[in-house]
Amino acid sequence: MSARQALDWATRLVVLQKQGLFELPEALQAKTQVIYQSAKKVKAKNNIFPTKSFNVLVVANLRVEKDPFRTALALSKLPSDSKIQIFHIGLPLNQEMEEELKLIQENNIRYHWLGRLPHNKTKQYIAAADLVCISSRIEGGSNVLCESLAAKTPVITTNIPSLVATLGDNYPGYFSVGDTEKLANLLWQAESDINFYQELKNDCKKVAYLVDPATEEKCWQDLIKQLSEC
């Protein structure tokens, strides 16, 4: 291998999902390796959520990029007999979001803000939830999605490129950024249609291998081996 080729290998990049390749200049794409970040499985604990409701979890700090109140806004569009409860883990990062949080809490008795929780406890909430909702406008590689897949908890999510890159083009649980009506429809369908809910679970299960620690370890080993052979 020439010195030029060795330098090319030494300057390889890593991105967290395949869509990240196309956000790089074309000249760098051939030097880039896709390695999905992994997440360890956590066993769900009992009695975290009410037993007679359909429990939807949001894990997002309160900032514009996360569109953190979209799921709470969808509550008003659900049928009156819906048993959905929204639980939200995250911190308000500015005064404006904190004021909006207070207003949301006052007007939505089925919205429960849990504040900041330790990482391991957050993972337990993810594992125990019926559904995780990701309403982000922008994501690089979503930790919440990885944790949900590892916990075998299905997701409803915005159809932004970084999330589609993991779940696939045909995943049935997508809504457009800011589309409260579509989100509400998906939440109700997940709650009321067992076949749709099972489809979400099955599709998440199919891609869960991407976030398996053994998969990530092998990808890093392969990359290191390639570099060592330069």
**49 lies in some domain:** no
Side chain identity at 18, as an amino acid letter? K
Number of compact structural domains in the chain:
2
Task: State whether 105 and 179 are in the same domain.
Answer: yes
Q: What is the CATH number of the domain that holds 81?
A: 3.40.50.2000
Task: State whether 99 and 114 are in the same domain.
Answer: yes
pLDDT 10s digits, 102-120: 899 888 999 999 999 999 9
**45 lies in some domain:** no
Task: State whether 155 and 205 are in the same domain.
Answer: yes
CA separation for the pair 82, 125 (Å, rounded): 21
**47 lies in some domain:** no
Average pLDDT over every residue of 173-181: 97
Task: State whether 101 and 10 are in the same domain.
Answer: no
Task: State whether 25 and 58 are in the same domain.
Answer: no
Average pLDDT over every residue of 131-147: 87
Residue 4 has what pLDDT? 41
Q: Is the pLDDT of residue 45 over 90?
A: no
**Region of poorest pLDDT, from 9-18, 124-133, 165-174:** 9-18
Q: Is the pLDDT of residue 176 over 90?
A: yes
Q: State the residue range of the domain holding 7.
A: 3-38+212-228
Q: Is the pLDDT of residue 134 over 90?
A: yes
Task: State whether 205 and 218 are in the same domain.
Answer: no
Tell whether pTM > 0.85. no
Task: State whether 30 and 62 are in the same domain.
Answer: no
Task: State whether 203 and 216 are in the same domain.
Answer: no
**114 lies in some domain:** yes
Residue 138 has what pLDDT? 84
**140 lies in some domain:** yes
**217 lies in some domain:** yes
Task: State whether 64 and 105 are in the same domain.
Answer: yes
**135 lies in some domain:** yes
Task: State whether 58 and 145 are in the same domain.
Answer: yes
Task: State whether 97 and 21 are in the same domain.
Answer: no
Three-state SS sequence of the chain = CCHHHHHHHHCCEEECCHHHHHHCCHHHHCCEEECCCCCCCCCCCCCCCCCCCEEEEEECCECHHHCCCHHHHHHHHCCCCCCEEEEEECCECCHHHHHHHHHHHHHCCCEEEEECCCHHHHHHHHHHCCEEEECCCCCCCCHHHHHHHHHCCCEEEECCHHHHHHHCCCCCCEECCCCHHHHHHHHHHHHHCHHHHHHHHHHHHHHHHHHCHHHHHHHHHHHHHHHHCC
Side chain identity at 196, as an amino acid letter? F
Task: State whether 59 and 87 are in the same domain.
Answer: yes
**48 lies in some domain:** no
